[in-house]
Amino acid sequence: MSASIEIAGVSKVYDGGVRAVDAVAMDIRQGEFFSLLGPSGCGKTTTLRMIAGFETPSAGAIRVDGSDITHVPAHKRDMGMVFQNYALFPHRTVAENVAFGLRMRGLDKVTIAAKVKAALAMVELSGMEERRPAQLSGGQQQRVALARAIVIAPRVLLCDEPLGALDKKLRQQMQFELKQLQKRLGLTLVFVTHDQEEALAMSDRIAVMNGGRVEQVGTPTEIYNQPTTRFVADFIGDTNILRGERAGPNLDVGKGLMLALPPSEMQGTGILSIALRPEKIRLSPRGDAPIAAGSSAHGIVENTNFLGGAVLYRVTLEGGHRVLVQQPNAGTSRLFVPGDSATLEWTPADLVVLKD
Amino acid sequence: MSTAASQRPNGLALFILPSALLFALFFFLPIGLMAVMSVLTGNPVVMPKVAFTMRHYVRMIDDPFYLEVIWTTIRIGLVTTLVALAIGYPLAHWMARIKSRTGHALLLMAVLAPMLTGIVVRTFAWMTLLSDKGVVNQTLMSLGLISQPLKLMYTETGIVVGLVHIYVPFMVLTLTGVIGRIDERLEQAAENLGASPFRAFIEVTLPLSLPGILAGSLLVFALAISAYVTPILLGGFQIMTLPILIYQQISANFNVGFAAALGIVLLIISLILVIAYNRALGLVSGQRELQ
């Protein structure tokens, strides 16, 4: 049965004092698709390896369904793992690879054969039993690795950037299939990735990590719409980050630009950073009418980046700030070209106040 | 690679010439001469009238003494290889997996250091250890564990001890290269699937390192059966091996033809092993795809 995982203040310090993971705490719920997202070196893989039992935490505890497994050796943890390079046994056939975990559990041959057959059917690899890993494509190897990990009905499935080596089309297909499989089997799945789009698309919840610490834990929409730290706002998608000093209900970001703060943030003094997503800004041709102070500005389009479904503009405001603006390619409105004068408008409530 | 590249005369190919000449002059020519000598009645340089004969080979088969020598040689080679493997594999595994660079350098030093001393010197060192009044026997007797000195010198055991000491580095270096190329994540994958570290080693690392085991064993066996100095010094002519016999035939009996025939037998034993090695490597075919 799938299990919940509790990571309680876990740190990993390597010889030489490198803190790969620093006081990480999170609760992964039963049956949840949970992603560890961050740039390389953020500690996400080390965290996963500690859950798997390949690394021992320097401090803290890991609990599965409430029982402490911090010092249980890897082979007694009953967790499935899909490795980044799949780590298939090159000297064994596909069927032998999938059967490995069942064999270690001492199951009889008939049961093993039936389970292997079912697992290979589930990942649509029936008929490939006698091939060796080197005779398979990357996508097929990935499926074998997945079948090998889930055939043992693990309490938790751990995935270390399992789709990293696949090309984009195949990757999207595998994302879809993995997500479907996870939901169907009700698996608790911990997924390590550096790809924010992948994490947003697949996860129930995401932990964004940076420098060995957890920056924010939340659902994909929370992470995207309400980033709490500057790092999260910057790492997930494109964003405009402005820093300034509070001046009453406004934020003075310099160069003559004042931003009206959202209603909930009007109190207080001091320095503040805010994030504003490019797609939350509306762009229109510059008119003669006066504009609302604090929620609009004039600017010149510097360059355009056509994304297909949308267009990303880099606009220089009159005071000199440069901002990104994304407009849907709706077809009704004229597209802007570099050199166009434009008016930018936004809603103060869309500004997200960040912790540094 | 494209066929165009292989057909175009390549200037770099000239660099093979020195080694090709060296091989032809000092390898194929002498072996060819040896093969010819082994089927002649005498030395054609000093005896103008020589004829073809198989009598050297017939003598080997007819006289159980010579068969016994051949068997002793092979036995010493086998035991040396097995002991070198048993000692070398754990060491090689340790070297291949050690994380610390300093640790790796120290281990490599330890493996290579004995090779800085000549074989003769090292063999004499073993004589002072193994002889009746040597360090080993004196220590055991003073501890009261034995009353008579153990016969360590002038036995096959003594020869094997000396040979293992000399050839273990070859085994270790060959194995370290192969084990080092096995992805550690394969062992972790096995452990993740429920194999204890020992089971993971047996199921994954050991079969994947088989080519290294075969290559190292082949090397050590070939070196051990052709060793001369160590069997002479530690065996004291009481244990007869093929190389010693060949030397005696040339220097004492002046029977160049018989010595050549013995040399050919030694060569054939090695050749059979190389062929068997290639066959065995083909059987563990999963390994080829890995590389």
pLDDT, tens only, B233-289: 998 888 999 999 999 998 988 888 899 999 999 999 989 988 988 888 777 644 444
Say whether A75 and B196 touch across the interface (CB within 8 A).
yes
Q: Going by C-beta distance under 8 Å and a sequence separation of 6 or more, which residues neighbour residue B266?
A: B73, B225, B226, B242, B243, B246
Mutation to test the A interface, candidates B185, B192, B208, most A Cβ within 10 Å: B192
Q: What confidence score (pLDDT) does residue B8 get?
A: 63
Q: What confidence score (pLDDT) does residue B85 get?
A: 96
Q: Which residue of A has its CA nearest to B100?
A: A15
Say whether B203 and A100 touch across the interface (CB within 8 A).
yes
Instruction: Kindly list the strands in the beta sheet with A271-276, ordered across the sheet, starting from the edge strand earlier in the chain.
Output: A258-260, A250-252, A240-247, A271-276, A352-354
Among candidates B193, B287, B289 on the partner chain, residue whose Cβ is nearest the Cβ of A104: B193
**B203–A contact, CB cutoff 8 A:** yes
* Mean pLDDT score, A323-347: 89
Cα gap A81→A85, rounded to integer Å: 11
Task: Please report how the helices B101-112 and B64-97 are oriented relative to each other, as an axis angle in degrees rounded to 10.
Answer: 160
Decide if pLDDT at B4 tops 50.
Answer: no
Cα gap A194→A199, rounded to integer Å: 8
Half-sphere exposure of A280 (CA within 13 A, CB side): 17
| Least reliable range by pLDDT among A99-103, A199-203, B232-236 | B232-236
Among candidates B186, B197, B284 on the partner chain, residue whose Cβ is nearest the Cβ of A89: B186
Say whether B189 and A83 touch across the interface (CB within 8 A).
yes
| Mean of pLDDT over chain A | 92
Residue A64: both structure tokens together: 């599965």
Go through B106-118 and write b for each residue having 16 or more CB atoms within 10 A of its CB, e for each that does not.
ebbeebeeeeeee
Task: Please report how the helices B256-283 and B55-62 are oriented relative to each other, as an axis angle in degrees rounded to 10.
Answer: 70
Residue B69: both structure tokens together: 């020598």
* Mean pLDDT score, A56-67: 95
Task: Please report how the helices B156-180 and B64-97 are oriented relative to each other, as an axis angle in degrees rounded to 10.
Answer: 40
Across-strand partners of A64?
A5, A67
Whether the CB-CB separation of B214 and A112 falls below 8 Å is answered with: no
Decide if pLDDT at B123 tops 80.
Answer: yes
Q: Which residue of A has its CA nearest to B186?
A: A87
Say whether A87 and B189 touch across the interface (CB within 8 A).
yes
Alpha-carbon separation of residue B5 from A311, B12, B14 (angstroms) = 49, 12, 15
Q: Are strands A189-193 and A156-160 parallel, antiparallel or unpaired?
A: parallel
Distance, in angstroms, between B87 CA and closest chain A CA? 25
pLDDT, tens only, A224-244: 999 999 999 999 989 999 999
Among candidates B192, B199, B286 on the partner chain, residue whose Cβ is nearest the Cβ of A90: B286
**Coil vs helix vs strand at A163:** coil
ipTM of the complex: 0.84
Say whether B290 and A83 touch across the interface (CB within 8 A).
no
- Of A1, A37, A57, nearest in space to A209 by CA: A37
* Mean pLDDT score, B94-113: 91
* Mean pLDDT score, A17-22: 91
Q: What confidence score (pLDDT) does residue B3 get?
A: 47
User: How many pairs of residues across A and B have Cβ atoms under 8 Å apart?
Assistant: 80
* Mean pLDDT score, A118-136: 92
Say whether B185 and A85 touch across the interface (CB within 8 A).
yes
Q: What confidence score (pLDDT) does residue B31 get?
A: 92
Decide if pLDDT at B200 tops 50.
Answer: yes
Say whether B195 and A80 touch across the interface (CB within 8 A).
no
Decide if pLDDT at B218 tops 60.
Answer: yes
Decide if pLDDT at B7 tops 70.
Answer: no
Q: What confidence score (pLDDT) does residue B9 get?
A: 64
